[in-house]
Structure 1
């Protein structure tokens, strides 16, 4: 029996099959083109039968995950467009830094009541309120909201965005009528305090420009203000506007600084790595995420796990594994430009670095 080991080419083939499965329903032509390319590469290999079976399984898995993701969004549609009462838990209140920006509250709905009939659900929704509304809610607070209408937006692109964010419906209310069902526990209050620390830091001794840069680069918060607009125009003029968006580069800088600060501590490198990983998980949980930041974060997590388990690591293999992991969690990331650019550019950089390194090794 021939030995079978995952090379970079094999991983690329199975990831292509997985992507073709995700694209099968919305973009069947692209799916056929990607599948044909993967089959062409498969039949050039010695392990073609086994590789073909694996590619077919991943194609089916990709198409299944796509259907599952859409099914969650379009399920329980008979509960929409009706005035109802809901019981939900507050997940997050998006900070409003612009005086005219709507207030957005993320709720996890547990029960919907329509005409005295109760329906148990487990859905996440966006609740939008006017900018002048005063909100006294806290995260993890369980509330009951009266006379609310949940709906799907008419825009298909907005629907795709909500599917990517795992949001079932949206609601726009002029006034918020609610009663508290359960208050956050002491442990949940400590979590709220920890999550609010990055934003609370901007309220003390921060200028408007410093606050904007801090929230945009460190916290990943997109801000709308005159200061932001002027700064964006300046960054666009110099062609460095991408530095305002938190990306993998900022995470690499943070990891480098932490490694430098921990270098003087007499401790094993594995324990230092675990400590850095724990700090990054806290940072990831308390700030606003993006695809580029998720890519860098999961890549470092997989790299650290390989080091802890004494497994050989390859940067391109870790990138493929990260893409597979993110698309498994939510395949709709594939259809957005930030995912496509982040992974394609990173793949080109890693391939160029490995090719250059191989050339130097052969020359030496």
Structure 2
């Protein structure tokens, strides 16, 4: 009864191409926007900055990866490398006295330049071959970071991020850092929502489906692959920098290893390729579920009087968490975003779908 198309009349192309055609979708979006703005007043600082803040930053980063993988169809296993470029570039720029507004832009542009190199590999290879190429570039970036003291300080060193400030005002409070992460995630989400309605978004989807057919239709796959990698890397670079200044407060090579690239790709796949709401769900599952499962297992063992050692507590949640991912993908291979779409489509006609039976 929540989703209804009655009373929705499209009398022009502009009306038909609205961001939210169904009023219920618009109300849900406004509700979560208001909830996000009020979160610092509703949630304690511990949960706000330990769970919600990193979830928002990683969602923005995963949306950037979804742009190149879900929209353009280019499998990317080196996304943590461009995040590292953005983080180190922004931190070094801030340490040299550049205002943080420009330091974040420098980080995004630097990551975009490096990320564009992946596009040249995408011009010659695709599929698993492209994934292997991007993975090799990730290893190259890992080697550069660990063997270049001028950049990272060394293999086991870390760089302290300067105090974050915007418009000359230092931001150090929990609520202030949260709103920075929230604002960036909101900006990336709005960009991705509008991307699908533009000619660029349709061209990226055409390249994803069949680049040869797209070329016959006049779509320059060379140009759009470069745009996809550059835009995705810019989002990843800024996200990496914001992750450092709002959550980690220092940058080290191991924070952006190949395992992080695989983790972000898992967020996108579990959430659903090309799905924005699914990306939110996928990041929440990959990032937050291990801690939730750990708490449930520890609480259940305590209620049952079971004595579990630290090693068992460390491995059981991972097994349950991995099994949960497998079950979700078995139920809906297209990810959590498609599962949400199925529920939404069911509510769109319920209970009138019972009349045909």
TM-score range, shorter chain: under 0.3
Higher relative contact order (CA 8 A, sep 6+): 2
- Write 1 or 2 for the structure with the bigger share of helix: 2
Larger radius of gyration: 1
Scaled by the length of structure 2, what TM-score is found?
A: 0.22
